[in-house]
Amino acid sequence: MDYVEFFVLSHGRASLPEECRLLQVLQNVMQVLFHNDDVFDNFLGVMAPFLTVHGTTDRVMCQTSSQLLYDKQSSVDKTLKIYDRMYHSLVQGEPDENTKIVLKDMREWIDERVARYGSKAKGLEEGI
């Protein structure tokens, strides 16, 4: 079963041509990223701080995909933030109050990492 079939079965939607095209594009991206062992292995080996965010009413990607990224990511500094009753694009198309919450959380997460690790990432000053 491919992603489009899974989406239709689990969501009972995707009857509109635009949704089908979008899902096909996403399926292609998923295949490139997660069926290419080199890309996936390299992604999982990234040790930089890692933030994954997801809306519970996302109709494009299931929440399990964000959980999988979080679970498989090698970084010791990783965060999974789930936003109740928010959609796929957490900073576009949401009510202003939701967008402000997400952007505030992202800013705080970044500020915490800058405070923890410094304003320059290790290795950048050496040109690595």
Q: At what angle do helices 17-34 and 3-11 cross, to 10 degrees?
A: 130
Q: Give the pLDDT of the chain (128 residues) as one tens digit per residue.
A: 444 444 444 444 444 445 455 555 566 666 666 655 666 667 777 788 889 899 999 888 888 888 888 888 888 999 999 999 999 888 888 899 999 999 999 999 999 999 998 865 554 454 44
The whole model's pTM is what? 0.62
Residues 6+ apart with CB under 8 A from 1: 9
Task: Find out whether 86 and 113 touch, Cβ atoms under 8 Å.
Answer: no
The pair of three-digit structure tokens given for residue 127, joined into one six-digit string: 């040109």
Residues 6+ apart with CB under 8 A from 51: 78, 79, 81, 106, 109
